[in-house]
Chain A
């Protein structure tokens, strides 16, 4: 499997290449090199452990954007049964950068909404690199309101560089579309569970990220602005993205420490893309656990706790 190694994973890549080579040689010679392969494999494992135990913010950002990182539909495929995708905002278009629909998790009916990036070039363009336009957010809004009517919990998967900054998006009210979702989600009469699975890009992420529980995958990121954007404004150079990433504190660990998210979902060694089934199991487990708890709350209490959670964010003195 071509794992598409990132820069900081190069030492692992070299080891893996060596293992591949040995295997190839081993196939057409009598020399027993199985032992050597086992030795190298365990070396690769411990090297990966050591590199991944001290990832910095910028490296984490690269993992969150990894070309093989599982996207929303990968999770839906593994977690949701009877999934029916629902399309369109009923006013303008169907935005492929956001997918949504009804289905079941462990037999339980739910509404699922998430940003979706594309895998190959054609799909990337179709899905606008996971950057929704207003019609995407309005489709999400329609599905949230439908979920409220039919008492379906809303499960969201966040993975976007941000809301699309384009001419048409502005003309059709990108700001209003995002603002409306924040407004409606804050008082939606059904449990809402949000999980950042890749990039949590600013307002574009938050527009489906207001809920009773907000979780993050271990190597996902969540930020008010992209590290590059922040660097080019505050450091006047996009090359300082690593510094910006550090200063912004975009990682799950830091955000958990700051009390801004509720839970970190652990990823397989080397990142979610190394083992899709394992990460899907972890995500599913976390969702079900939260759902079971939220189910026990009377609606009034659910909404009051959600409100107080939102009100608690901020630092000031007086």
Chain B
């Protein structure tokens, strides 16, 4: 036992394993800088590395937890759950994939929607749960998103959506594709009512989600270093047969190319969104 290990309390000491192993539960390793971080501290910091500011992926519910004021909160469309109309089966049954994902995430599907407030400004907020089948958009995600839009229209509230998705859900085949037009049509209706939609694109936002609701914000915000694009980097590499440049399809690249308005640090999101929405909604300054 090295002097350092002796120094650590016994419950976080690794016994016998390789030095690289991080004890389950208490510590996390930053994929950005490799620092070993105390998990509780990391969570307080909204899963952003306190050392290098690397933004790790964060669950949808946890994200809304950080983003919204503690009160009030009303969940929208929480009872919606997926059905396997096509009896889709690849190496696994879609039905089983649903059950597995529901068990792993505690969510019924890959989108969570809530009415709430940010610094006292009422709004509707949605967040994708990437751990639910890669945040893929099927019928439930589409329907819940539309209900969030409808709620916003009915109560004259702005809408914000944090996307994290691999794209359309293949297991629902063409029904998934139709969620692209369904969500976009709802946003078109919202736009005609003069209500703002802010789209926050987080790591990763690809395919059918990026090619529909996520790119339709009145304001598009990227999280630092998020992968955002239509086609996946692997598909592009196979098509053009060359290696892609460093930073390709990252937020910073999209900002340079004019696809997003700004890049905002997760810890600054509440302030930034409250300020911008305050302006778009014609409210008096908060501070």
Indicate if A179 sits at the interface (CB-CB under 8 A).
Answer: yes
Given contacts A169-B231, A317-B81, 16 further A-B contacts (CB under 8 A): A167-B244, A167-B248, A170-B236, A176-B211, A178-B230, A187-B188, A203-B180, A210-B181, A235-B90, A260-B174, A310-B182, A311-B182, A314-B140, A314-B175, A316-B82, A316-B139
Across the interface, which residues of A come within 8 angstroms of B185, CB to CB?
A: 182-183, 186-187, 210, 307, 310-311
Assembled-state Cα–Cα distance A73/B240 (Å): 28
Given known contacts A173-B259, A174-B211, A179-B184, A318 and B230 CB-to-CB distance under 8 angstroms: no
Assembled-state Cα–Cα distance A182/B178 (Å): 10
Across the interface, which residues of A come within 8 angstroms of B182, CB to CB?
A: 310-311, 313-314
Whether the Cβ atoms of B79 and A318 lie closer than 8 Å is: yes
Across the interface, which residues of A come within 8 angstroms of B143, CB to CB?
A: 314, 316
CB distance from B154 to the nearest CB of A (A): 15
Whether the Cβ atoms of B86 and A247 lie closer than 8 Å is: yes
Contact of A249 among B82, B174, B228 (CB under 8 A): B174
Assembled-state Cα–Cα distance A180/B170 (Å): 23
Whether the Cβ atoms of B181 and A182 lie closer than 8 Å is: yes
Given known contacts A235-B91, A249-B173, A180 and B216 CB-to-CB distance under 8 angstroms: yes
Indicate if A37 sits at the interface (CB-CB under 8 A).
Answer: no
Q: Which of B162-188 contact A (CB under 8 A)?
A: 168, 170, 172-182, 184-188
Assembled-state Cα–Cα distance A311/B236 (Å): 32
Pull 8 A–B residue pairs with CB atoms less than 8 Å apart, ordered by A: A164-B239, A175-B211, A182-B212, A203-B168, A249-B173, A315-B172, A316-B140, A317-B80
Contact of A179 among B88, B186, B216, B231 (CB under 8 A): B216
Closest to A205 in B: B177
Closest to B199 in A: A179
Whether the Cβ atoms of B230 and A203 lie closer than 8 Å is: yes
Indicate if B64 sits at the interface (CB-CB under 8 A).
Answer: no
Assembled-state Cα–Cα distance A307/B85 (Å): 23
Whether the Cβ atoms of B80 and A316 lie closer than 8 Å is: yes
Whether the Cβ atoms of A165 and B235 lie closer than 8 Å is: yes
Assembled-state Cα–Cα distance A247/B92 (Å): 12
Whether the Cβ atoms of A165 and B174 lie closer than 8 Å is: no
**Count of A residues near B, CB < 8 Å?**
56
Indicate if A157 sits at the interface (CB-CB under 8 A).
Answer: no
Assembled-state Cα–Cα distance A106/B145 (Å): 42
Assembled-state Cα–Cα distance A206/B185 (Å): 13
Contact of B170 among A163, A225, A307 (CB under 8 A): A225
**Which of B215, B216, B239, B245 has the most chain A CB atoms inside 10 A of its CB?**
B215
Indicate if B281 sits at the interface (CB-CB under 8 A).
Answer: no
Provide the A211-247 mask, 1 if CB < 8 A to any CB of B, else 0: 0000000000011110001100111100000011001
Binding site for B on A (CB under 8 A): 163-167, 169-176, 178-180, 182-187, 202-203, 206-207, 209-210, 222-225, 229-230, 233-236, 243-244, 247-250, 255, 258, 260, 307, 310-311, 313-318
Across the interface, which residues of B come within 8 angstroms of A317, CB to CB?
A: 80-81, 83
Whether the Cβ atoms of A183 and B89 lie closer than 8 Å is: no
Indicate if B213 sits at the interface (CB-CB under 8 A).
Answer: yes
Whether the Cβ atoms of B180 and A313 lie closer than 8 Å is: no
Assembled-state Cα–Cα distance A258/B184 (Å): 22
Across the interface, which residues of A come within 8 angstroms of B116, CB to CB?
A: none
CB distance from B190 to the nearest CB of A (A): 10
Closest to A231 in B: B90
Given known contacts A175-B210, A186-B188, A224-B176, A169 and B170 CB-to-CB distance under 8 angstroms: no
Across the interface, which residues of A come within 8 angstroms of B222, CB to CB?
A: none
Across the interface, which residues of B come within 8 angstroms of A248, CB to CB?
A: 170, 173-174
